[in-house]
Amino acid sequence: MNFETDILSVFDKKWALLTAGDKDSFNTMTVSWGGMGTIWGKPVATVYVRTSRYTHEFMDREGYFTVSFYPEEYKKTLGVLGSKSGRDMDKMNDSGLTAKEAAGTMTFEEAEVTLVCKKLFMQRLEPSNIIDKDVCKFYENDAPHDMYIGEIIDIIKKPVNKANFDDPHNELFVEEP
Ligand SMILES: Cc1cc2nc3c(=O)[nH]c(=O)nc-3n(C[C@H](O)[C@H](O)[C@H](O)COP(=O)(O)O)c2cc1C
């Protein structure tokens, strides 16, 4: 996937992990709704978290969060992290991913790209504000989403190995100055 041109479908197609907390206490969950763009003159990532998620408690409490993207081989792991709650399992140890600190918050070694975000704004997507009735079905039996907008303060790219680095067809290829 080309990160530069597929930006609109990157959440939908690749999925991501949303992680908040510090090394002593953090949680992660899979997200496929979200976006990247600009507001208030800042580069931002926006995510939508149902109030019922364990991760929601961390998103409310913490000032920073990460959104991390993974190679295709981790899709199954993301599927598990998106179906089990950190309330019911030790996600951090049982996922097989390797947690690491990033600017005081957390991400995972296996991520190909991590967006480190500073929380700027949150607001409930009040079901009473829905205009298009097609959207109502998402809230008939489930908790509302809270929207979190975070300023992207750092983008961490996993270093590529030398062989890939030299390949001009690799999307992470960087020409040396
Ligand atoms: C592909 C996929 C995408 C998901 N996207 C979202 C999302 O954008 N927002 C959300 O609130 N939940 C989403 N979920 C559901 C949560 O990841 C799931 O409920 C998770 O178990 C919550 O974990 P937690 O209770 O430890 O926070 C998604 C699940 C999957 C499998």
Choose the residue to mutate in 30, 48, 77, 81 for probing ligand 1, maximizing ligand atoms within 8 Å of C-beta: 30
Among the atoms of ligand 1, which is closest to the Cα of residue 91?
26
In single-letter form, the type of residue at position 113 comes to V
For the chain, how many structural domains are there in total? 1
Does 142 reside within a domain?
yes
Per-residue pLDDT at 54 = 98
Among the atoms of ligand 1, which is closest to the Cα of residue 55?
27
3-state secondary structure of 122: strand
Pick out the chain residues at pLDDT < 70.
Answer: 1-8, 161-177
Per-residue pLDDT at 1 = 56
- Closest residue to atom 17 of ligand 1, CA basis: 82
- Tell if the pTM clears 0.75, that is, is over it: yes
Does 22 reside within a domain?
yes
* Any atom of ligand 1 within 6 Å of the Cβ of 46: no
Which CATH number do you get for residue 115?
Answer: 2.30.110.10
- Closest residue to atom 11 of ligand 1, CA basis: 49
Does 75 reside within a domain?
yes
* Any atom of ligand 1 within 6 Å of the Cβ of 77: no
Does 23 reside within a domain?
yes
Q: Retrieve residue 121's tokens.
A: 């704004």
Does 102 reside within a domain?
yes
* Any atom of ligand 1 within 6 Å of the Cβ of 59: no
In sequence order, the 6+-apart residues with CB closer than 8 A to the CB of 117 are: 44, 45, 64, 65, 66, 67, 150, 151, 152, 153
Expressed as residue numbers, the domain containing 23 is 7-165
Per-residue pLDDT at 163 = 53
Does 59 reside within a domain?
yes
* Any atom of ligand 1 within 6 Å of the Cβ of 30: yes
Per-residue pLDDT at 173 = 43
Does 173 reside within a domain?
no
Per-residue pLDDT at 122 = 98
Give the distance (Å) from ligand 1 centre to CA of residue 50.
8
Per-residue pLDDT at 176 = 45
Give the distance (Å) from ligand 1 centre to CA of residue 155.
23
